[in-house]
Structure 1
Amino acid sequence: MIKSIRPETVNIEAIKYAAIQTVDISLLRLDKIHPVISGNKWFKLKEYLKLAIEGNKKGIITFGGTWSNHIVATACATRSAGLSSIGIIRGEEPATFSQTLQDAQAFGMDLRFLNRAAFREASKAPDTFLPETNDWMVVPEGGKGESGVAGASSILDLVPDLDMYTHICCAVGTGTMLAGLTNAARPWQKLIGISSLKGEDGLTAAVSAMLKPGAARFSIFFDYHFGGYAKHPPALVDYMNQFFRQTRIPTDIVYTSKLLFGIEQLLHSGYFPENSKVLVIHSGGLQGNRSLKAGELIF
């Protein structure tokens, strides 16, 4: 359907954190699968795309912010699949579009802006705001939903020797990827989520509601958000640059940087038993780094 997606190009890289050698850390580089439909976004979209094509829909309507990885990935994926796309964007229309919105528009996405209150209502009841919904596939923000979870479950199909891992770790926004991974993991494996959200824990219940009977166990940590969703204080940017110097692996300001920082802190605290083998999912999203000023990142 989208021939430019080439999962065989994904690789798994070992990471060595300084002075921590009793735990093996491997990073699944989903950021390498496509220059635009990067990381977990492809997996959360692919089942929706399949349903849209099978249902003879005109295209996909979805939701997101001005720097949304999901918005630009949807725009690119739908165009590649021969479908149209409508993006409902959170906030008033800006005088100058972000690079993300410019890219989405270049891929043919029809961008429509709603203030935050209207955006929340439209997300809950799209039929009220969007008369086209009967002819279109509506995809929740971030690819959340049953089809998104099903697609995310296939991420682990890319992992050779999956059985050898004791822990599987990922960043958490909507919880869709964590739910998919937990459904697909072996019963003895422990799933670890690092939340990018600040506030009370609503994610644990949300993820639990998306799980199949007999799914593996999971935990979510909420201490490594650096101030909240998309917040990126200088300490986080410094960490991203430091991590790149050590590993030559780029991270993003919303998810993977906080994930890898959180994993490092858990290692230092002795959370993982000795000789654990930990698989960490790099979920892409690097395009969002373009919201930073030139020169803040060294990659």
Structure 2
Amino acid sequence: MTSPQTEITTPLQKLEDARFDQIGIEVWMKRDDLNHPLIQGNKWHKLRLNLDQAAKQGQTQLITFGGAYSNHIAATAAACYERGWSSIGLIRGDELANNHQAWSLTLKQAQRHGMQFEFLDRQTYRLRHHQAWLDALQQRFPNAYLLPEGGSNEFAVAGFEKVINQLNQQCEGWTDLFCAVGTGGSLAGLAKYASPNQTVWGIASLKNADYLKPQIQNWIGSSKQNWRLLTEFHGGGYAKSNSEIMLKTKQFESKFQILLDPIYTAKLVWAFNTLLEQNHFQAGQKIVLYHSGGLQGCTD
């Protein structure tokens, strides 16, 4: 198994399609689903510097937040397991506490990697951004490192500098980068380290995601405006889908032999195809679709 300490350059796979040739665009997929078998894609980049920070502080227990289908929960559990650390997941949905049959494959995998769960009702879960509640949580676990939902913070954002450096070496002059968005940290990191003339497009996987924009801009910095957040491709909400998304996913997987996760990358591909059909792109654009992993949940 690849060590999470090992940095590898993941492939940039050219996608060949007659539709692209007709318009005069080039399209690639950045295969960060291949950067680690368990801590895939953007989750490794978001965790890497946070893990380093926890180690510097002498903390070997991580506590974090997520829903039943959270790739971040699975990745955090795996990262702690590999380091011999302990992990606790505060999970949205107290109805799951005594209903193991309803657990997602993502939760089951996290449990196999040693994560302990506390299932919170939705009202309590909403307190995850309230400092007084977080302070009380830290008092309960004084030796733990608290990671926000999705792992998104300034350390997570900084982890994407290496992704952009790889892309610049693999595809000189790329113009557009599409990434899926949950909490906004990946979009912020990619946009922060991309050049001002490169546009990073975020595809929100949850409903009503406009509230993320101020935090994303804060992470990037007020002077940089090279990003967009598209909120109309959520497919019904987080961890939900529709027949069109499922059709486009099957077509993409069949044509390019690349497996997509249903929570994030499938919606990204649907959004890209919709924009393509709407003649959104122009000749000369070099477009990268970012595969953020999450394949442990592809059969949930």
Aligned residue number for residue 295 of structure 1:
none
Aligned residue number for residue 249 of structure 1:
258
Contact 1:62 1:71 in 2 (8 A): yes
Aligned residue number for residue 93 of structure 2:
91
Q: TM-score, normalised by structure 1?
A: 0.90
In the TM superposition, what is the alpha-carbon distance from 1:189 to its structure 2 partner? 0.9
In the TM superposition, what is the alpha-carbon distance from 1:18 to its structure 2 partner? 4.5
**RMSD (Å) for aligned C-alpha atoms:** 1.9
Residues 1:146 and 2:148 are matched in the alignment:
no
- Identify which of 204, 229, 234 aligns with 1:225: 234
> In 2, distance between residues paired with 1:194 and 1:263?
9
> In 1, distance between residues paired with 2:50 and 2:216?
19
* SS of residue paired to 1:208: helix
* SS of residue paired to 2:234: coil
Residues 1:173 and 2:182 are matched in the alignment:
yes
Contact 1:31 1:284 in 2 (8 A): yes
Q: TM-score, normalised by structure 2?
A: 0.90
Aligned residue number for residue 166 of structure 2:
158
Tell me which moved more, 65-74 or 159-168: 159-168
Q: For 1:129-144, what aligned pairs fall within 5 Å after superposition?
A: 129-144=137-152
Tell me which moved more, 11-20 or 185-194: 11-20
> In 1, distance between residues paired with 2:213 and 2:129?
21
Amino acid at match of 2:72: H
Contact 1:188 1:216 in 2 (8 A): no
Q: For 1:101-112, what aligned pairs fall within 5 Å after superposition?
A: 101-112=107-118
- Identify which of 27, 30, 38 aligns with 1:28: 30
- May I ask how many residue pairs the two structures share in their alignment? 290
Sort the Cα spacing of 1:70 and 1:200 in 2 relative to 1 into closer, same or farther, 3 A. Answer: closer
* SS of residue paired to 2:159: helix
> In 1, distance between residues paired with 2:247 and 2:124?
36
User: Which ranges of structure 1 fall in alignment gaps of 5 or more residues?
Assistant: 292-299
Describe the superposition over 1:97-116 as per-residue Cα deviations: whole angstroms up to 9, x where unpaired.
33222221221112111111
Tell me which moved more, 249-258 or 269-278: 269-278
Sort the Cα spacing of 1:220 and 1:213 in 2 relative to 1 into closer, same or farther, 3 A. Answer: closer
> In 2, distance between residues paired with 1:6 and 1:264?
34
Aligned residue number for residue 134 of structure 2:
126
Aligned residue number for residue 3 of structure 1:
3
User: Which ranges of structure 2 fall in alignment gaps of 5 or more residues?
Assistant: none
* SS of residue paired to 1:155: helix
> In 2, distance between residues paired with 1:168 and 1:8?
20
Amino acid at match of 2:105: Q
Amino acid at match of 2:253: F
Contact 2:20 2:26 in 1 (8 A): no
Aligned residue number for residue 191 of structure 2:
182
- Aligned residues with identical type, % of pairs: 35
Contact 1:6 1:33 in 2 (8 A): no
Aligned residue number for residue 69 of structure 1:
71
In the TM superposition, what is the alpha-carbon distance from 1:5 to its structure 2 partner? 5.4
In the TM superposition, what is the alpha-carbon distance from 1:206 to its structure 2 partner? 2.3
Describe the superposition over 1:8-59 as per-residue Cα deviations: whole angstroms up to 9, x where unpaired.
3611111134423211011100111112111100000111100110100131
Contact 1:152 1:176 in 2 (8 A): no
Contact 1:44 1:147 in 2 (8 A): yes
Contact 1:186 1:216 in 2 (8 A): no
> In 2, distance between residues paired with 1:94 and 1:207?
36
> In 2, distance between residues paired with 1:113 and 1:195?
25
